[in-house]
Amino acid sequence: MTRMTIAQAAAVAVLALTATAAPAMAGSESGNFMVRVQGTVVDPDSSANVAGMPDADADVSTEVLPTATLTYFFNNNLAVELFCCFATFDAKGKGGIAGADLGDFWVFPPALTLQYHFDPVGGFKPYVGAGVHYIHFFSEGRSPDLDSKIKLDDALGFTLQAGVDVSLGGGWYLNADVKKTWIETDVSWPGAGVRADVDIDPWIFSLGVGYRFDIGNVFGARHEAAVLK
């Protein structure tokens, strides 16, 4: 997959959301469901402890990619959100192995957060959240410098977030969101006999658009959904 620029990710986001906004999904400022599509920067704050190499370290690349969220509102203040995407990253050596190509890999990194949405101020609706972040690694590539394929164990970590939705009317919103995740994985290059404990700890910055509606309308509810209190 070709890596995307911020402009390309934003264009994909707008087109995807427009395509999914069916007539039955009448926008609602107090709807119980929101879909967002975003352009996202994932900036790992990475470090590594390489077994037997005290001066060695590693760095994971910063990437730009399209992402999406699904948010269910229990009421006007409490919600749960699922965030996800697919992405590919490169690992490079630092310290005593500076410049070494350690391999590339794909990730599927869903995050689930419980959110508190503050009462709106004008059209601004800020929120905070906390939850868990799971990363599944796959399609690992070969390190030409270690002459071995990189292998990463799936990992589970803790994430915090803060963001704001800005109402555009009719259930449409602009969104800005930041997450910080603390997560660690075990990495190995079996053919080279090298192992490392790696802290990925990414910052995740997102900008996008969202659409809020009553989920019952999608499934043909015959009666108007109750307004969230």
What CA–CA distances, in Å, run from 149 to 97, 188, 191, 193? 17, 8, 7, 11
Report the 10 Å Cβ neighbour count for 52: 9
In this prediction, residue 229 carries a pLDDT of 52
127 and 175 in contact (C-beta within 8 Å)? no
Question: Does residue 93 lie within any of the structural domains?
Answer: yes
* Range of the structural domain that residue 141 is part of: 6-218
Question: Does residue 223 lie within any of the structural domains?
Answer: no
Question: Does residue 226 lie within any of the structural domains?
Answer: no
In this prediction, residue 11 carries a pLDDT of 47
pTM for this structure?
0.84
Question: Does residue 225 lie within any of the structural domains?
Answer: no
Question: Does residue 195 lie within any of the structural domains?
Answer: yes
Question: Does residue 1 lie within any of the structural domains?
Answer: no
Residue-level pLDDT, tens digit, the chain, 229 residues: 444 444 454 445 444 544 454 444 677 788 899 999 999 999 999 999 998 888 999 999 999 999 999 999 999 999 999 999 999 999 999 999 999 999 999 999 999 999 999 999 989 999 999 999 999 999 999 999 999 999 999 999 999 999 999 999 999 999 999 999 999 999 999 989 999 999 999 999 999 999 999 987 776 644 455 556 5
Question: Does residue 224 lie within any of the structural domains?
Answer: no
| Count of structural domains, the chain | 1
Q: Which residue's structure tokens are 């059209």?
A: 123
User: Which uninterrupted H or E stretch holds 8?
Assistant: helix 6-20
In this prediction, residue 215 carries a pLDDT of 84
Q: Give the CATH number of the domain where residue 15 resides.
A: 2.40.160.20
CA 114 to chain centre: 15
Dist. CA 189–CA 150, nearest whole Å: 5
Question: Does residue 228 lie within any of the structural domains?
Answer: no
In this prediction, residue 228 carries a pLDDT of 64
